[in-house]
Structure 1
């Protein structure tokens, strides 16, 4: 069952817009497992130049779907973003299915991934203040490295923190400048 939290910025969310968003996004429910309850967080924004931006985030137990789309026509942006979310779901399901079919091949691949440490700059000489401007809290979900990389890419982030399903340790995957991925394992 998919619930909706629809907000408008510089825009009144009319019943027609609400109905259109719900109708389009509910089509994605066919990909969810029975009994999967989720809330689709939809943010509709209109800028001064009549450009619209639609953002949809659907956090679920093992996956967070997120996409954004800009278009001059709000309804066209909604169509494009639901297509984008559907492609994300199909890509995720394909990779998960392939992972289970090729478990040993994936394990060998992941073991061959280059492990490196990220060195932080020594900021002892800096007089600059460190200011936290945003704080987020979330639950770490048990998963393997491949699933963590997939989640990171789907969210559009450059790193992702997760609990390793095998070791139960907190790990971080990140995208390197060369386009490959790195893994930081904690003790």
Structure 2
């Protein structure tokens, strides 16, 4: 697995670069050599640092982020989170992506399964909502999301004729998802 480390409003020292690469090596066993992990280190506000790790492999996206006052602590939290996500969802990911992204060796896979004491179940859908998809501008969609006190809102973009989603981000800003199809 290749690792790209980028700093945004933050200078990544050689020491931090080495630590990230060393800790991320534990994820190598899951992926083939052509997969790239993108690590973004950024300073949000004075004294608040965020570490984001995103792995995109043949359509599967595995992502985790952590914000704290210490970038080194973030590394110790994010890498194990990614490891847990892969372990938890590896069966589903392998079925979906037909072993094209994962590089499980038989012995490693057995060892991992022995460590997983309980089988994770797919969460049951407890509620289904049907609604009319209304055409509206981004501003109107944000207003609707706020009026409904939802974390996201699905609407039809009249300009493109496609479904869009606005959502409230962790930092209280708004994000827009425009699917490509």
Task: State the TM-score, normalizing by the size of structure 1.
Answer: 0.52
Distance (Å, rounded) in 1 between the aligned partners of 2:59 and 2:52: 20
Deviations 1:53-89 (A, max 9, x none): 0011000125211011011111110110001101100
Are positions 1:120 and 2:133 aligned together? yes
Trace 1:64-143 onto structure 2 (pairs within 5 A): 64-95=61-92, 117-121=130-134, 123=136
By how many angstroms is 1:48 displaced? 3.2
Q: Does 1:55 align with 2:52?
A: yes
- Please give the secondary structure, in 1, of the residue aligned with 2:45: coil
Rate the CA distance shift 1:80–1:122 in 2: closer, same or farther, 3 A.
closer
Shift of 1:44: 0.4
Aligned to 1:59, what secondary structure does the other structure show? strand
1:23 maps to 2:19: no
Number of residues of Structure 1 aligned to a counterpart in Structure 2 = 119
Mark the runs of 5 or more structure 1 residues left unpaired by the alignment.
Answer: 100-105, 124-128, 132-156, 160-171, 175-187
Distance across 2 between alignment mates of 1:158 and 1:122: 16
Tell me, in whole angstroms, the C-alpha distance in 1 between the residues paired with 2:135 and 2:9: 44
Q: CA deviation at 1:12?
A: 1.1
Contact 2:50 2:74 survives alignment (8 Å):
yes
TM-score by length of 2: 0.53
Moved over 2 A (4+): 94-99, 112-118
- The CA distance in 1 between the partners of 2:5 and 2:135, in whole Å, is 44
Question: How far does residue 121 in structure 1 lie from its aligned partner after superposition?
Answer: 2.9
Aligned-residue CA RMSD (Å): 3.7
Q: Conserved in 1, the CA contact under 8 Å of 2:50 and 2:66?
A: yes
User: Contact 2:66/2:78 (CA < 8 Å) preserved in 1?
Assistant: yes
Instruction: Note the C-alpha offset of 1:31.
Output: 2.2
SS at match of 1:23: helix
* 2:2–2:33 Cα contact (<8 Å) kept: no
After superposition, the C-alpha distances for 1:19-48 in whole angstroms (9 at most, x for unaligned) are 11111112111123xx45211111101133
